[in-house]
A = this chain, B = another copy of it.
Amino acid sequence: MTLEDARRLDAADPLRDYRERFDLPEGVVYLDGNSLGALPKDTPARLEQVVRGEWGNGLIRSWNDADWITLPQRVGAKIAPLIGAEADEVIVCDSVSVNLFKLIGAALNMRPGRKVILSEPGNFPTDLYMIAGLEAQGLAERRLAAPGDLEAALDGDVALLMLTHVHYKAGRTHDMVRLTRAAQDAGALVLWDLSHSGGAVPVDLAACNADFAVGCGYKYLNGGPGAPAYAYVAKRHHAALSQPLTGWMGHAAPFAFTDDYAPAPGASRLLAGTPGILGIAALEVGVDLIAEIGINRLAAKSRALSEFFRKCAAEKLPDLELVSPLDPLARGSQLSFRHTQANAICQALIARGIIGDFRDPDILRFGFAPAYVSFEDVFLAAEGLADIISTRAWDKPEFQQRAAVT
């Protein structure tokens, strides 16, 4: 694999022009879009319009005149086709964590007599942590089973199977169709966390008959740091949906200012407080761009990029342990490797302008955001990684310290 190979692949890439739609810093190879997506070039102007025009000039009138009030539903409807959902099954609101709480609560309400939330050890921490508060309240009971044991762990106590489609660390995917069916056969509901899928990996919530899902706005959807998240509720549950965060924006008539709660129709009842307009407006720009490219083209390029990286790395670093599946169809838009010096290697790469990330204790992770990562990026990153490992360039005191956020 050579730089020329990479450039040939870039020249033939049908998505090559989309890189210009992002504002990427000079001299940086960015393989961490799975943690924070890059800035779309249209975002600053859109935010300027929202801030100066809609807020500064329109003031309170913009809730009506700029239609802020339906922004959560509008952006949710744009995310829907990326995950195999219908427009009114998806809404943008709060964070992934808060949305997990709502939907775990909804599942417990729908399965009285069952308290177990089944997940896997090593799932993304917040998914597991969000069960803890409900456990302390006596409402839920956490059960963890390794991927191969999940189906055996589905008994009559399980209210909800809650899994992340693409594992944040290993990058492996779950079989959504099979696990959803197994859980539903056992009388449980299913919640899929699409944080590491949506916008890069094909998901078909309708085809797998999912009950609930959540996903992240700041990774492959390029919504900006801490962007609002999204939540999905299958239409068949809309009428009965009852979730615990019963705020005024999820009320059937918020501006009637009545004392008693009555839920808004469908997924809109997932809203709690006043939606953060700046955050959702920025997210909309990223979603528009990803939706314009389309999930099938993104997924095809994602697989080609990760395969190219894998082959480059295998050629230069035959001993480096790959943690992610070899089969590109069995993994998300990332590759993870194990190395005892993962943190120092990650720091050394960043010092050279090659940004991946480190996941405690020994994982080096590279994400391939297909909308803007090039094959040349991938080649340069693999080359830098090989050089740092083979020359032990990581072995400097300044690369040993652990950053506050990794």
Residues from chain B with Cβ under 8 Å of A68 in the complex = 225-226, 405
- Per the bound structure, the CA–CA distance linking A273 and B124 in Å amounts to 12
A105 within 8 A of B: yes
Give chain A's interface residue range (CB within 8 Å of chain B): 35 or more
Q: Report the nearest B residue to A276, measured CB to CB.
A: B226
For A147, the chain B residues whose CB sits under 8 A away are none
Q: For the complex, is A337 an interface residue (Cβ under 8 Å from B)?
A: no
How many Å from the CB of A346 to the closest CB on chain B? 11
Q: Give 1 or 0 for each of A248-281: 1 = CB within 8 Å of chain B CB.
A: 1101001111111100000000001111111110
In the assembled complex, the Cα of A247 lies from the Cα of B280 at a distance in Å of 21
Q: Is A152 an interface residue (CB 8 A)?
A: no
Find A257's partner among B228, B245, B359 (CB 8 Å cutoff): B359
Chain B residues positioned under 8 Å from A51 (CB to CB): 39, 43-44, 47, 224, 282
Query: Which residue in B130, B136, B277 is a CB contact (below 8 Å) of A225?
Result: B277
Q: Is A376 an interface residue (CB 8 A)?
A: no
**With A129-B247, A357-B60 as given contacts, are A278 and B274 in contact (CB-CB < 8 Å)?**
no
Q: With an 8 A cutoff between CB atoms, is A399 at the interface? A: no
Known pairs A133-B246, A259-B128; A278 contacts B282 (CB<8 A): yes
Pick the residue among B28, B132, B225, B245 that contacts A246 (CB under 8 A). Answer: B132
A406 interface hit (Cβ, 8 Å): yes
- CB contacts under 8 Å to B, within A187-219, are 218
> Most chain-B CB neighbours within 10 Å: which of A224, A229, A403?
A224
> Is A9 positioned at the interface, with any CB of B under 8 Å from its CB?
no
Is A278 a contact of B224 with CB atoms below 8 Å?
A: yes
Given A25-B57, A272-B95, answer yes or no on A63-B247 (Cβ-Cβ < 8 Å). no
When the two chains form the complex, which single residue of B47, B243, B258, B275 contacts A226, counting CB atoms closer than 8 Å?
B275
Give the copy number: 2
The residue of chain B having its C-beta at the shortest distance from the C-beta of A96 within the complex is B273
**Which of A30-38, A170-178, A378-386, A388-396 is the contact stretch?**
A30-38
| Complex Cα gap A187–B130 (Å) | 29
Cβ–Cβ contact B227 & A276, under 8 A: yes
| A109–B63 alpha-carbon span in the complex (Å) | 37
Report the separation of the CA atoms of residues A261 and B101 in the bound assembly, to the nearest whole angstrom. 14
Contacts of A228 in B (CB 8 A): 276
A98 interfacial contact with B, CB 8 Å: yes
Q: In chain A between 110 and 129, which residues have their CB closer than 8 angstroms to a CB of chain B? A: 121-126, 128-129
**Residues 61-80 of A contacting B (Cβ, < 8 Å):** 61-64, 68-69
Q: Is A137 an interface residue (CB 8 A)?
A: yes
A261 touches B38 (CB 8 A): no
Kindly list 8 other residue pairs between chains A and B, CB separation below 8 angstroms, not including A97-B272, A128-B261: A36-B60, A47-B278, A64-B404, A97-B247, A125-B251, A126-B248, A133-B245, A279-B279
On A, residues with C-beta under 8 Å from B are 23-25, 28, 30, 32, 35-36, 38-39, 43-44, 47-48, 51-52, 54-57, 59-64, 68-69, 94-98, 101, 105, 108-109, 121-126, 128-130, 132-134, 136-137, 139, 144, 169, 218, 224-229, 242-249, 251, 254-261, 272-280, 282, 350, 355, 357, 359-360, 403-406
In the A-B complex, the 6 residue pairs with the closest CB atoms: A95-B273, A97-B247, A133-B244, A97-B273, A39-B56, A126-B248
